[in-house]
Amino acid sequence: MDSSDPKGGQYGNAFRFKEEKPSRQAKSHCKDKPLGDRRRTSATAHPAIKSCFGYPLSIFFILVNEFCERFSYYGMRAILVLYFRNFIGWDDNLSTAIYHTFVALCYLTPILGALIADSWLGKFKTIISLSIVYTIGQAVISVSSIHDLTDHNHDGTPDSISVHVVLSMIGLVLIALGTGGIKPCVSAFGGDQFEEGQEKRRNRFFSIFYLAINAGSLLSTIITPILRVQQCGIHSQQACYPLAFGVPAALMAVSLIVFIAGSGMYKKFQPQGNIMAKVVKCIGFAVKNRFRHRSKEFPKREHWLDWAKERYDERLISQIKMVTRVMFLYIPLPMFWALFDQQGSRWTLQATTMTGRFGAIEIQPDQMQTVNAILIVIMVPIVDAVAYPLIAKCGLNFTSLKKMTVGMFLASMAFVAAGIVQVEIDKTLPVFPQGNQVQIQVLNIGNSSMTVYFPEETVTVDQWSQTDDFLTIEIDRLRSINISSPGSSVTEVSHEFEQGHRHTLLVWAPSGYRVVKDGLNKKPEKGENGIRFVNTLMGTMSVEMSGKVYENIASRDATEYQFFPSGTKSFTINSTEIAQECPRDFQSSNLDFGSAYTYVVRREGNGCLEVKHFEDIPPNTVSMALQIPQYFLLTCGEVVFSITGLEFSYSQAPSNMKSVLQAGWLLTVAFGNIIVLIVAGAGQISKQWAEYILFAALLLVVCVIFAIMAQFYTYVNPAEIEAQFDEDEKKKKAGESNLYSNLEPVSQTKM
């Protein structure tokens, strides 16, 4: 899960509050509370605030809204990279690149949302407007995943994949605009509902708000992968992406409806101007003014921002200095997010090459992301209530920046663990042809043994059996292949093999053979299993298996692979050669994760059918449980890095510029995803484990740099600095008042 969300931000200290005793009114009943003197200029004025147990009733609608919105976002995101790879048909690198482009966009748009809310529409109208955009985006991507939309020939494959790509991109842009735009508004709008003097209850609200985010994320990353593996479709049954995207879309619509339902209870304040714009203008003027006066005749000033004094007051300049000092520390932070957000891309793809069977329980690759959500809910209170107090008792000065350094180190170690797991996976993966190589296996469907002579190897295959593995041959060395059987002459195979592909040589006699090009050049995706059938009957046959149909299979020919989730599958064979009294229904072997099989159908002497299966690609054997250590390390890093970083930023920011630093924090997430986008787009690292180690090494270097930068940072108390400015202003006004009071009245004669 993404703890760069409003998990901490304005409420980074949500877990550090004391229990507040509820008022007597709150204990006894709920009532309407007058606004009193605190009513500020608002878009819609209300005579009273409905409250219960001391809390505004309006926050209930905000909490339900946030739960549904986070369910919608994380549910969609959990299956997104698999949708790109398995439905759209992109490779791993492109799928990863587009995924991280989308995530980066989600963390760039909060700036736009903050500008709209603060300068134009206000928080309430911004949330409503962008939630509508968000809901439309979710609906569009749901429609884009319907394969029947362009499947005009009803073969189960979209005839115009570009239509689906365009719709998907439109949907993702709308979602990024919606989710990013409301990100800086919802939590702040919730905080606006409280009165002055309710700081402790506001902190409690932010704690519940945080848990609502985690609950929505946890449930969605469990449920949407289950929906994805369901079979649906009008003309052919396939993985049900429309349902998996449709449920999050429906939850987003519910989120919008619930939020609107509470409209009459909200306190809605008019936009008061955007401090972010003032900051940008002040910095811009300081830079411009400095370059105008760069000659030696102008004396240097203590700080480069002091060049803005000609136009901006000292208080604003001092506040911006505090912000820029923290922003400087943000420079190395994108590297952490570059690793963290790969949970939803590279780590999910890694899980597709592993087995998700835990005894009687079976989980899908994209459900592994729930480990982070579960650990976050468990570890945040443990770290806050146990680990930090123990460290303090040991007398260690574990400052915020030191915690963040430890968090970066733990994230680096998580990727070392991921690299070790990848090495173990690579040991079990089959070798596929590369470059100008071809791979050939022999499947003997005849009644006698066959000997096949390859250029550098000879293999003998018994009747109704298959070679143990594929033979890898350079295509320029594949001059001839010959077949013979006992008592028969040698026959040369006449066929042009296609480089970079696997082929199966079906043989039933020295002069009877067929070369079939396999459609699999990698392990079956998303943990599914490839199944194809070989017909040895004299006539055609068809097979129906779990809603999918293999039609008009010619005699002594093989079908293309079709893909099925794990488990035992029932299938029915239809052929005119089957005797009436013979069964037509059969059971497959138990399919695991990531395997491929060839099922050979033959007729026995009594006219009934026999089905024999051969393994083409072995199932995944490395358990997804091996990913738990890397998730644990990364979650530990998240807890001590992300939440601490948000608390640090909040504590070091002036009261009117906390939103500026929140926007800066979200930008580090965006830039982190851009780093992954660049690495994945380059695609120069052939070994996945090497890429993991590269990221770990880069973050380790950045961790050292950040630790050095932290040594030179001096913690400040913005409240004290601002109080000093207030005191100086009071003295200045008092001095001016005394000056005027001491002036004698000026008579007409003295003029």
Mean pLDDT, rounded, for 662-688: 80
pLDDT in tens, 500-544: 999 999 999 888 999 999 888 888 876 789 999 999 999 999 999
- Strands (E) located in 261-370: 268-269, 357-358, 361-362
Question: Maximum distance among all alpha carbons in the chain?
Answer: 143
* 139 pLDDT above the threshold of 80: yes
Task: Using DSSP bridges, classify how beta strands 541-545 and 548-553 pair: parallel, antiparallel or unpaired.
Answer: antiparallel
Contacts of 463 (CB under 8 A, 6+ apart): 444, 446, 447, 448, 449
Q: Among candidates 421, 468, 428, which has minimal Cα distance to 621?
A: 428
Residues ≥6 apart with Cβ < 8 Å to 193? 49, 56, 58, 59, 62, 266, 267
* pLDDT value for 669: 86
Are the CB atoms for 635 and 375 separated by under 8 Å? Answer: yes
DSSP string, 84-116: IIIII---HHHHHHHHHHHHHHHHHHHHHHHHH
Instruction: State what percent of residues in the chain have pLDDT above 70.
Output: 87
Residue 52, pLDDT score: 67
pLDDT of residue 16: 38
Chain centre to alpha carbon of residue 49: 39
Domain spanning 332-355+363-430+625-719: which superfamily? MFS general substrate transporter like domains (1.20.1250.20)
Among 27-41, 392-406, 475-489, the range scoring the smallest mean pLDDT is 27-41
State the span(s) of the chain assigned CATH 1.20.1250.20: 1-273, 332-355+363-430+625-719
CATH of domain 1-273: 1.20.1250.20
Looking at residue 28, its pLDDT comes to 45
- The pLDDT > 90 percentage for the chain reads 39
Distance, CA of 182 to CA of 125 (rounded, Å) = 10
- Encode pLDDT of 378-388 as tens digits: 888 888 788 88
Return d(Cα 636, Cα 412) in angstroms, integer.
Answer: 11
**Number of Cβ atoms within 10 Å of the Cβ of 63:** 19
pLDDT digits (tens, 9 = 90+) for 156-214: 778 889 999 999 999 999 999 999 989 878 877 887 788 767 767 776 677 677 678 87
Question: In whole angstroms, what is the distance from residue 223 CA to residue 218 CA?
Answer: 9
